[in-house]
Structure 1
Amino acid sequence: MSDDHSNEWYYNVKTGKVEPYEGDKASERLGPYSSPEKAARALEKVQERNEAWDNDPKWNDD
């Protein structure tokens, strides 16, 4: 495993900001993402995935 984290970006859910690998603790962040732009869309991606899972009959436990 490589120790190069130069292309890792995270979305900090506490601050609402994108940060590099050397940021806040892991429990406060989503990622890694391959670019700051992708990290900035982290909450949108979470919402998209939640909606997809909510509408997937394989995951419907009602």
Structure 2
Amino acid sequence: MAEDVENQYWYNMKTGEVEHGFQSPSVDRVGPFATAEEASHALEVLRANSAKWAEEDAADNR
């Protein structure tokens, strides 16, 4: 069964608000997240992923 992304939660990078469903343009939002709580921590998740990927890239280039 496909995920129903229209009914999940998104973090709006422009406003800093959590949204339920597709409320804003896709360029302004990240997600989807299963809960509003998860979406509220979107920036922390993005920072952690970015750091992880940077470390992996550095290790690959050694």
TM-score, with structure 2 as normaliser: 0.80
Q: Which runs of 5+ in 1 are unaligned?
A: none
Query: What root-mean-square deviation, in Å, do the aligned CA atoms of Structure 1 and Structure 2 show?
Result: 2.0
1:1-12 equivalences under 5 Å are: 1=2, 5-6=6-7, 8-12=8-12
In terms of fraction of residues, the more helix-rich structure is 2
1:1-62 equivalences under 5 Å are: 1=2, 5-6=6-7, 8-56=8-56, 59-60=57-58, 61=61
* Percentage of pairs with the same residue: 29
What is the total number of aligned residue pairs between the two structures? 59
TM-score, with structure 1 as normaliser: 0.80
Q: Which runs of 5+ in 2 are unaligned?
A: none
